[in-house]
Chain A
Amino acid sequence: MSAAANKKPFDAGRAAYLALNIVLLAFLLVPIAIIIVFALNPTPFISFPPVGVSLRWFEKFFASSDFMNALWLSLWVAACVLVLSVLIGGACALALARGNLPGRTFLTAFFMSPLMLPAILTGLALFQSYLLAGIGRPVWGLIMAHTLIAVPYVLRTTLAVLHNFDHRIEEAAAALGASPVRVFFEITLPLIRPGVFAGGVFAFIVSFDQFPVSLFLVVPKSETLPVVLYNYMKFDLDGAIAAASMVSILLALSVVLAMERLIGLKAYVKL
């Protein structure tokens, strides 16, 4: 057969599909590229085209005690939120999927409700509640508030895994003499792990980037990175903002890559 005969005919549908994907990818990635350009541009204001390459804004970011304290606080809060939301969200998902609870649909909607409320209102309501309760604005209050917002993410991803869960595996283990505790830790938990971990990644990122809720709950000298960036931006709109954004993106990416090493990204795709 000739080479001309082997040549596939032009597929307009496939070309359109590819073009659409390229456009979507560009839509997602171009803002990150712009941030990189601004972070490396040495001018004391955000401008385009860039006039050179410099690390001065990264130096400013890492040399600033305000930024560094905020970065560490954000990481600490996000780590606590990850653990708490995995425990609470995972347990809620199991109870909802397995518990034969009355009003299950209502309870699911109830647990998901923090996602439906504007976060700024959640922040304001919690702020007022904390003040009325006389507890002020402690860091643990901020962690609880972030957990409230993060739990629905773990709940959703875990419920998705539990939806396709084959109960016969657990029944087989029980029939072979495994105790309920052993069934949970050796059968149930490993099988729902991808959903719980994926929810945990979302919880970490949601907490790390959380702004509207934190806005009302941070106290002087204990402010999270998004709040510090917002206030910084009101007075100094320079490349340090872009450098901070780059660091945030790299940190979020590190978390995702760490999770990939732990459970593999294919597990997320299955969801």
Chain B
Amino acid sequence: MISRRSVLRTGAGLAAAATVGAPAVLHAQTKTLKITTWGGKWGDIMKATVLPAFEKEFKCTVQADQAFPFMPKLQASSKKDPLYDVFHTNSNEQWSSLTEGLVMDKITAKEVPNIADVYPYAVSDKIVGVTIFTSAIGLGYRTDKGIPVPKSWKDLADPKLAGQRGGYLIPVNSLGQCHLMMLGKIYGKGLQDLDAAYKALEQLKPIKLVDFTGQMEKMLLSGEVSEGVIHDSGVLRYEGANRQPVEFCSPTEGVMALEQVLNVTPGSKVKDLAFSYIDYMLRPDVQKLLAEAVWYSPANKKVKLSEKYDARLLTTPEKVATLIQPDWKWYNARKDDIDARVTKILKG
């Protein structure tokens, strides 16, 4: 028998279930874009300003993963339902990801209109996806240690710097890998002259090695290293109130490019939103904000930076021409052999 009380109880239960369920329904209607992004100052600006503005404009939610390692997580997830929609890494990892079919091979201005305004290096044949920023890999040095101001990559081999020079663990750091290729160019026939590079690397011993990119600037700041391989952003940010006795040198032979690359995963369920995000990241106002926060050179030609940033970053075709882009496809194909060889050279 159905009593009045049981009807009321059932009704109340259904109403409660509907109330609890409502936010879930609303949430399901809001698209979620899953991206990878850096931490540190970059991550702070992204979380505080850039991503909330994107979410508001595109009426979506962005889930930004800052927890490394990105690539193994993407590899472990299904290609049909990838863990990320937009993959932000340096160029070397984009090439590895392409080999495994984890990212798209090319992004054009058709999908991302702002690509029409980027410097050629940002979409060159050395890039998978699109570069949104680049740093210049050169030499950082202390200005208070009485060492000669470096001008060439060869200056790092100065015997006076024995035990005071810094580099990276080549198997795990792309700056170290870039440096190795640059040694091939400086002392041999080109970036791919590994024999010359190995020989030159031998001459750099003793050298202090770090694994994380950010560690080198701390080694320079603490004075543990007097001169080392570093990207310009790691030195240039110590200006004004943060002034420290460190300076950056763009060697005359050219600087290596450390690109920040965005790409879309082929299995993404929100591909249009993913392209919109890349387009948004290439907008001049967004580019200016991030470039001036972390001292990265913007890829968009139309960006007008404030004077002090414009003076030091790669913001003209002439300055951009000093960038040397490595062939990561070539490097990755030999990585295991290179790792074994450099480990043998630098062990101990």
Contact = CB atoms under 8 A, between A and B. Distances in A.
Interface of A: 43-47, 124, 127-128, 131-132, 215-216, 218-221, 223, 227, 230-238
A45 B221 CA distance: 7
A124 B66 contact: no
Given A47-B222, A236-B214, A237-B218, A131 B83 contact: yes
Interface in B28-71: 38-43, 63-69
11 contacts: A44-B221, A127-B73, A132-B78, A215-B68, A219-B65, A220-B67, A232-B39, A235-B38, A235-B41, A235-B42, A237-B215
Interface in B302-321: none
B76 A127 contact: yes
Contacts of A47: 221-223
Given A45-B222, A131-B76, A231 B63 contact: no
A128 B40 CA distance: 28
A216 B83 CA distance: 11
Contact of A236 (B40, B73, B242): B40
A92 to B, nearest CB: 30
A44 B63 CA distance: 30
B64 A220 contact: yes
A235 B214 CA distance: 5
Contacts of B215: 237
B218 A234 contact: no
Given A234-B39, A235-B43, A124 B76 contact: yes
Contacts of A128: 76
A120 to B, nearest CB: 9
Contact of A215 (B43, B67, B77): B67
Nearest to A132: B78
A73 B223 CA distance: 37
Nearest to A215: B67
A125 to B, nearest CB: 9
Interface string B185-214: 000000000000000000000000000111
Q: How large is the interface on B (under 10, 10 to 19, 20 to 34, 35 or more residues)?
A: 20 to 34
Contacts of B213: 234
Contacts of A233: 212, 214
Interface in B4-45: 38-43
Nearest to A234: B212
A46 B215 CA distance: 10
B290 to A, nearest CB: 14
Contacts of A231: 39, 66-68
Given A43-B222, A46-B222, A235-B41, 13 more contacts: A131-B83, A215-B67, A220-B65, A230-B67, A233-B212, A233-B214, A234-B39, A234-B214, A235-B38, A236-B40, A236-B214, A237-B212, A237-B218
Contacts of A216: 72-73, 76
Interface core residue of A44, A124, A237 (most chain B CB under 10 Å): A237
B214 A237 contact: yes
A46 B73 CA distance: 31
Contacts of B218: 45-46, 237-238
B67 A124 contact: no
Contacts of A43: 222
Contacts of A44: 221, 242
Nearest to A237: B218
A215 B65 CA distance: 11
A193 to B, nearest CB: 38
A177 B187 CA distance: 90
A218 B345 CA distance: 37
Nearest to B64: A220
Given A127-B76, A237-B215, A218 B67 contact: yes
A219 B63 contact: yes
A133 to B, nearest CB: 12
Nearest to B214: A235
Q: What are the nearest 9 A-B pairs in CB distance?
A: A235-B40, A47-B222, A45-B221, A45-B218, A237-B218, A231-B39, A128-B76, A45-B222, A220-B65
Contacts of B214: 233-237
A131 B77 contact: yes
A216 B214 CA distance: 23
A213 to B, nearest CB: 13
Nearest to B38: A235
A47 B222 CA distance: 6
B67 A131 contact: no
Contacts of B63: 219-221
Nearest to A233: B212
Nearest to B63: A220
Contacts of A219: 63, 65
B261 to A, nearest CB: 18
